[in-house]
């Protein structure tokens, strides 16, 4: 059976945007809003009467066909699937993705898009009574400031404090400048270890297509290196970035205003380091320190409201491997010591027997 991905989340959560960003050309997409628009609705999110009834019927018929098995991968956008339908999704081996940027963000989007009180009521109800389902174990779901859904399994993110500033451009627009990474600076506790980045860690980093995002949210693309609206520079201090912001009211309200007020003063970057590019040691107090020697690929730089991933799960896995290696070395050394003791005991025993009369 083809892969089925079910996107669950509140209205204005960015479900359709997420699908458009991840779909392949032959993927099947079941989206109520798109069906309603195709049937003649002037406003997809507020269709009524016969259009609504027919659109719902077509959606459920499409879902039924997908669950029975089709040739290509399928995406199903569903704000609140029923328990019975969730059970059918599970039975078909579907993967679940939660698209949830937070209640305040959804309500603000509804206001900006003039969607009306009915949509706002549905948003409030979704958060008061969220659907009960389990996200697939391998899912890259996000909530609030979690990572880009497209990020690979070994995607990591780190945050620097006090590193965002604004300057006005000659064309009247705004550019934000930040320090995404600082060399030789120990991080906070990341889950049983601290971390530092070695100078030159970005020397060979793939930075051909890096996005500037807000809160690592792919619904808020601020710029991109390919379009030259994001610029990156490795210095002796660390990795600097500049982003030429879009001149929209949403960006002015959600990004610029909080930075100007000092409410947002942190920068973060998303990356993978690749195998063998980190090393482990202990500080003077016996605490584990991870050193990132080289970063393989940079995915995004972001001004952020909160530090991303207070406990760095990928780093924890690397730490656990290091500890396991040290335990293995210690066990091997102890086994060799025990073997030597056993050989010495055998030799002494044989020597005693050799001098015994008789």
Q: Are residues 71 and 185 in the same domain?
A: no
Higher pLDDT, 192 or 284: 284
Q: Specify if 330 maps to a domain.
A: no
Name the domain count of the chain: 2
Q: Are residues 100 and 137 in the same domain?
A: yes
Q: Specify if 151 maps to a domain.
A: no
| Distance between CA atoms of residues 20 and 150, nearest Å | 12
Structural domain span for residue 27 = 4-143
Q: Are residues 63 and 117 in the same domain?
A: yes
| Distance between CA atoms of residues 310 and 287, nearest Å | 18
Confirm if 253 and 268 have CB atoms less than 8 A apart: no
Tokens of 71: 């040739």
| Distance between CA atoms of residues 319 and 314, nearest Å | 9
Q: Are residues 313 and 169 in the same domain?
A: yes
Q: Specify if 125 maps to a domain.
A: yes
Q: Are residues 33 and 176 in the same domain?
A: no
| Distance between CA atoms of residues 242 and 74, nearest Å | 38
Q: Are residues 17 and 87 in the same domain?
A: yes
Q: Are residues 194 and 282 in the same domain?
A: yes
Tens of pLDDT along 241-267? 999 999 888 888 888 888 888 888 888
pLDDT at 79 > cutoff 70: yes
| Distance between CA atoms of residues 281 and 186, nearest Å | 13
Q: Specify if 130 maps to a domain.
A: yes
Higher pLDDT, 210 or 348: 210
Q: Are residues 139 and 213 in the same domain?
A: no
As a whole-number percent, the residues of the chain with pLDDT over 70 amount to: 75
Mean pLDDT across 140-156:
44
Q: What is the pTM of this model?
A: 0.49
Q: Are residues 94 and 176 in the same domain?
A: no
Select, from the ranges 65-74, 113-122, 149-158, the one with the highest average predicted confidence (pLDDT). Answer: 65-74
Q: Are residues 94 and 231 in the same domain?
A: no
Q: Specify if 149 maps to a domain.
A: no
Please list the residues that pair with 28 across neighbouring strands.
74
As a whole-number percent, the residues of the chain with pLDDT over 90 amount to: 13
Among the candidates 110, 143, 176, a domain finishes at: 143
Q: Are residues 41 and 165 in the same domain?
A: no
| Distance between CA atoms of residues 242 and 174, nearest Å | 10
């Amino acid at each position: 059976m083809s892969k089925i991905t079910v996107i669950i989340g509140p209205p204005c959560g960015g479900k359709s945007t997420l699908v458009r960003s991840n779909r392949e050309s032959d993927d099947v997409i079941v989206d109520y809003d798109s069906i309603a628009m195709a049937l003649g609705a002037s406003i997809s999110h507020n269709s009524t009467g016969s259009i609504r009834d027919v659109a719902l019927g077509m959606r459920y018929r499409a879902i039924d066909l997908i669950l029975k098995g089709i040739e290509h991968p399928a995406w199903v956008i569903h704000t609140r699937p029923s328990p019975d339908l969730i059970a059918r999704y599970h039975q078909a081996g579907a993967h679940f993705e939660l698209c949830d940027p937070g209640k305040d963000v959804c309500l603000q989007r509804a206001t900006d898009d003039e969607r009306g009180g009915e949509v706002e009521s549905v948003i409030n109800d979704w958060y008061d009574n969220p659907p009960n389902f389990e996200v697939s174990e391998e899912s890259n779901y996000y909530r609030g400031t979690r990572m880009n859904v497209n990020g690979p399994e070994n995607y990591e993110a780190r945050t620097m404090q006090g590193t965002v500033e604004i300057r006005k451009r000659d064309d009247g627009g705004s550019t934000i400048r930040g320090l995404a990474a600082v060399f030789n600076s120990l991080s906070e506790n990341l889950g049983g270890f601290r971390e530092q980045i070695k100078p030159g860690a970005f020397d060979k980093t793939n930075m051909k297509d890096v996005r500037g995002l807000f809160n690592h949210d792919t619904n808020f693309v601020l710029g991109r290196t390919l379009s030259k609206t994001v610029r990156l520079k490795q210095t002796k201090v660390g990795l600097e970035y500049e982003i030429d912001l879009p001149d929209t009211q949403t960006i002015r309200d959600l990004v610029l205003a909080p930075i100007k007020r000092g409410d947002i003063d942190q920068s973060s970057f998303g990356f993978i380091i690749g195998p063998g590019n980190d090393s482990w040691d202990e500080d003077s107090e016996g605490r584990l320190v991870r050193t990132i020697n080289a970063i393989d690929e940079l995915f995004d730089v972001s001004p952020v409201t909160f530090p991303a991933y207070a406990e760095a799960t990928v780093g924890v896995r690397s730490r656990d491997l290091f500890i396991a290696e040290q335990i293995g070395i210690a066990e091997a050394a102890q086994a060799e010591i025990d073997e030597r003791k056993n050989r010495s005991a055998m030799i002494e025993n044989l020597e005693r027997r050799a001098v015994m009369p008789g």
